[in-house]
Each structure stands twice: as C-alpha cells, then as structure tokens.
Amino acid sequence: MINISVRFDVKALQRSLDNFARKQVPFATAQALNVVAKQVQAAERANMAKVLDKPTPFTLNSVGVKLATKSSLTATVYVKDIAAAYLEPYEKGGSNKLNARALIKPVGQKVNQYGNLPRTTVKRLAAKKNVFVGKVKTKAGEVDGVWQRTKAVRGKSAGLKLLVKFQDAHQVHQRLGYVDLARKVVASSFRRELGATLARALANARK
C-alpha cells in the first residue's frame, strides 16, 4: 500500500482563498487525489511491465485504487494480496519463491506467451504411466522434477528424461521501487490537478 501525503499543498491553498472558494476545496481535493491515484496506478503497471520478465495480466491488474471522497480525503494505491506476496522480493529484496513452493522450470514443454507452464501440465504429465515426480541423482547433482522413463531405441539404452525441473528460490535483483515512483508522480501532478479540479468546481458552483 502506498501512502503519500499532500496535506501541506491543500492547507496552503485554503489559506489563500475566500470563504466561497474554500468550501469547494474538499470536493476538488478528492477529485484531484483520484486523478493522481489513477496516474500512479498506470505508472506502477507500466513499471512492472518494464522491470519484470513478461508479467501476466493478473500481475499487472493487481495494482488497485481505493478512491477518495470529500469526507475522506485519502486515495490509496495498493497491490492485491496474492500478487503482493510474490512481488515483495522485487520491492524489498529476498528470494523469489511463492508460499515456500519450488519454482517450476519447463524443460522442452510448451509454455504460454508469458513463459509459464499451464497450471495443469505437471498434473497431466504425472498421470502418465511412464512418468514420475521425484529427485534423481545426475552427474550435475541431485535434480528434483518430473521425469519420463524412456525406452531403448536403435541401440540407445533406456533412461530418464527430465520434463519439468523444480528449482530452489533465487535472489531477486530487480527492484520495482513502488514508493519512489509514486512520489515522483504525485510531486509532478498533484498541484496541477488540484488547480484544475478547483477551477472546475468553482465554475460549476457559480452557475
């Protein structure tokens, strides 16, 4: 959740206005907050698309906004809980691992446009008679994954073929910088948007 205070801007504006205009400030402020919050939301999504490797629509759409009202002058930009859990290392550092489960790396399997295995792939492969899930000792060390027992063909002996590899978590080096990005957007936009929304509110109130 991203909270950026703009209280100083609003109070300074109120002191410079007459009583009639001052009454329009809460409504105008709420409108300006909502415009800027949506700008922050769009900027965060664009930044995710730039920093992350082929983020899914679920990840990009996880950035939400709770809008302000004139009685509650707070707009909140947040990342929904499920996405926030796996994106946390990209903000604070740490290991890229979701809910203590191993990361899945396809080996010669069809992936979707985001480079991920379809959800049912491991279950479908494991259901085959010549396939099992487990750890196998190889020349490169012990490998955990989904393995297929192959038959001997044309002089080639029977063996095991790795279909999906389960990897341990790895350290994340990319940083999303949620808060810094939000501050930049607010600093560059809020005063302008507040001026515009107040001007519209005053024009409508005088009609």
The 10s digit of each residue's pLDDT in 118-150 is: 777 888 888 888 989 888 888 878 888 888 898
Is the pLDDT at 199 greater than 70, yes or no?
yes
pLDDT of amino acid 134? 85
The number of residues making up the chain comes to: 207
Report if pTM > 0.85. no
Domain residue extents for the chain = 7-95+172-205, 103-167
Q: Which of 27-41, 85-99, 177-191 has the lowest mean pLDDT?
A: 85-99
Burial of 7 (0-12, 13-18, 19+ CB in 10 A): exposed
The Cα–Cα gap between 187 and 4 comes to 10
pLDDT of amino acid 184? 93
Longest dimension (CA), the chain: 94
Residues 68, 33 contacting (CB under 8 angstroms): yes
Q: Could you read off the pLDDT of 57-99 as tens digits, one per residue?
A: 889 999 999 999 888 888 999 999 888 888 888 888 877 655 4
Is the pLDDT at 8 greater than 60, yes or no?
no
| Chain mean pLDDT for the chain | 81
Residues 37, 67 contacting (CB under 8 angstroms): yes
pLDDT of amino acid 1? 65
Start-to-end C-alpha separation, the chain: 39
The Cα–Cα gap between 94 and 129 comes to 39
Is the pLDDT at 13 greater than 70, yes or no?
no
Token pair for 127 = 């259901």
